[in-house]
Amino acid sequence: MKILVTGANGQLGMEMKNVLETNFPGNTLYTDKEELDLTDRDAVCRYVLRNDISHIVNCAAYTAVDRAEEEKAESAAVNVDAVKNLGIAADAVGAKIIHISTDYVFDGRNYRPYKESDKVNPISQYGNTKRAGETALIAYIPNSIIIRTGWLYSPYGHNFVKTVLSAKKPLKVVCDQIGTPTYARDLANAIYRILRSSQWVEGLYNFSNEGVCSWYDFAKAICRIAGNTEYPISPIPTEDYPTVASRPYYSVLDKNKIKLTYDVVIPHWEESLTECIERIKSGEE
Ligand SMILES: NC(=O)c1ccc[n+]([C@@H]2O[C@H](COP(=O)([O-])OP(=O)(O)OC[C@H]3O[C@@H](n4cnc5c(N)ncnc54)[C@H](OP(=O)(O)O)[C@@H]3O)[C@@H](O)[C@H]2O)c1
């Protein structure tokens, strides 16, 4: 088994590196844009062939949800064309792919946690490109595994947890968008379980932590756990916090499929948040 992790400098990529370096030392290659620009099809095909890659974990993406509304070509290049390139390269050598997608493929009008089989209807350019990436990949590699996740955070890069922790003023946070945070380390551990499993069950999977909250609840928990009491946090409706891109009001994911298929045990979001805050406080980033 020779694994390629793309987007290795991103939040999930960094956590994949932590998990795999411990468990598969020497068997994994890690690339980001500088080593391997995934929008360059020839380079991707050459790299996968030359390195005899058997498994690809694609953590690379264009993740700037608001900027994507302006940068339509750039977001599509990474979230669609690059995914297609990986599919073509994997197809040429018979490699398997685990690709990461998003809860933003849904419109957020559901009344119960989204199952993998629920109808998609993205409401943003980011969501549209991620959905197009899913379909492009399935067209090239029907046996790929695609994991949809949401509200990702880690000690690395930019994310909501780090923004709230570093706030130096009172915060107003939307209280009517409901979802579940995902600790990137927990997702990386779930991907590791799939890689080391004796069975490869193709298809879509959902993954987030357990539990449900609003962004406001999430912000309050971050400050409570970190012991940050200096600046108050107030709830506001989405209409008082306009953003360039629309976001789903409800994006809770049903995780039964991944739990049953791969025996994944998922911690509650507050438990994982506590661990991540400890890591951030200890200086990891
Ligand atoms: N973050 C979230 O809240 C969230 C929510 C739902 C789903 N997801 C999905 O989860 C996955 C991991 O997200 P993340 O938060 O870890 O993303 P991230 O931190 O933004 O990392 C993505 C990485 O991909 C790299 N990349 C961009 N364009 C590339 C290219 N052309 N070739 C090679 N690498 C390229 C980026 O490099 P640069 O930084 O230099 O561009 C970055 O290092 C993505 O598929 C994302 O769509 C994320």
Kind of pairing between the strands at 178-179 and 213-214: antiparallel
The answer, yes or no, to whether any atom of ligand 1 lies below 6 A from the CB of 59, is: yes
Mean confidence (pLDDT) of the chain = 97
pLDDT at 25: 84
The reply to whether 282 falls in a domain is no
CA–centroid distance, 204 to ligand 1, in Å, is 19
Residue 24 — very low, low, confident or very high, per pLDDT cuts 50/70/90?
A: confident
Q: What is the pLDDT of residues 88-137, one digit of tens each?
A: 999 999 999 999 999 999 999 999 999 999 999 999 999 999 999 999 99
Atom of ligand 1 nearest to the CA of 187: 10
Taking CA 177 as the corner, what is the angle to CA 172 and CA 179, rounded to the nearest 5 degrees? 120
The reply to whether 40 falls in a domain is yes
Domain extent, residue 11, equals 3-157+181-209+251-267
CATH number of domain containing 80? 3.40.50.720
The answer, yes or no, to whether any atom of ligand 1 lies below 6 A from the CB of 44, is: no
Atom of ligand 1 nearest to the CA of 11: 16
With 90 as the cut, is the pLDDT of residue 75 above it? yes
The reply to whether 174 falls in a domain is no
First vs last C-alpha separation in the chain:
29
With 90 as the cut, is the pLDDT of residue 284 above it? no
Residue 285 — very low, low, confident or very high, per pLDDT cuts 50/70/90?
A: confident
The reply to whether 229 falls in a domain is no
DSSP per-residue letters across 12-45: HHHHHHHHHHHHSTTSEEEE-TTT--TT-HHHHH
- Report the share of the chain in percent with pLDDT over 90: 97
- Report the share of the chain in percent with pLDDT over 70: 100
pLDDT at 63: 98
The reply to whether 56 falls in a domain is yes
> What's the structural domain count of the chain?
1
Q: What is the pLDDT of residues 137-154, one digit of tens each?
A: 999 999 999 999 999 999
Q: 28-60 burial by CB neighbour count: b if 16+ within 10 A, else e?
A: bbbbbbeebbbbeeeebbebbeeeebbbbbbbb
Mutation probe of ligand 1 site: the residue of 15, 31, 59 with most atoms within 8 A of C-beta: 59
The reply to whether 118 falls in a domain is yes
Structure tokens belonging to residue 244? 């360039």
The reply to whether 102 falls in a domain is yes
The answer, yes or no, to whether any atom of ligand 1 lies below 6 A from the CB of 33, is: yes
The answer, yes or no, to whether any atom of ligand 1 lies below 6 A from the CB of 60, is: yes
CA dist 35 to 60, 132, 204, 239, Å?
13, 25, 29, 42
Atom 26 in ligand 1: residue holding the nearest Cα: 60
The residue behind tokens 């994991």 is 147
The answer, yes or no, to whether any atom of ligand 1 lies below 6 A from the CB of 39, is: yes
pLDDT at 37: 98
Residue 26 — very low, low, confident or very high, per pLDDT cuts 50/70/90?
A: confident
The answer, yes or no, to whether any atom of ligand 1 lies below 6 A from the CB of 86, is: no
With 90 as the cut, is the pLDDT of residue 73 above it? yes
pTM greater than 0.85 (yes/no) = yes
The reply to whether 93 falls in a domain is yes
Q: Is 231 a catalytic residue?
A: no
